[in-house]
């Protein structure tokens, strides 16, 4: 038995419909401009991200080699 039938049998009025939640629209050009201005201001940031990613990959490989005793 569905909720609508159960409400009707109990004498409860139908449920009120909720309004759809509207998400805010993202302005891609403004975000892109902020990212570009940050990268122009701090040009070392991409190198730091790449360096961190390489270190994480090397650490993961070391962990796998150590865990599975591969040598």
Could you tell me which residues come within 8 angstroms of residue 65 by beta carbon, excluding any fewer than 6 positions away? 71
pTM score above 0.85: no
State pLDDT tens for residues 37-59: 999 999 999 999 999 999 999 99
Nearest to 17 by CA among 4, 27, 32: 4
Could you tell me which residues come within 8 angstroms of residue 7 by beta carbon, excluding any fewer than 6 positions away? 13, 14, 15
State pLDDT tens for residues 23-33: 888 899 999 99
């Amino acid at each position: 038995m569905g909720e609508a039938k159960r409400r009707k049998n109990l004498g409860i009025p139908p449920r009120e419909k909720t309004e759809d939640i509207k998400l805010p629209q993202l302005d891609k050009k403004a975000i892109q401009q902020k990212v570009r201005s940050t990268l122009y201001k701090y040009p070392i940031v991409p190198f730091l991200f790449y360096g961190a990613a390489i270190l994480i990959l090397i650490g993961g490989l070391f962990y796998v080699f150590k865990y599975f005793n591969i040598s």
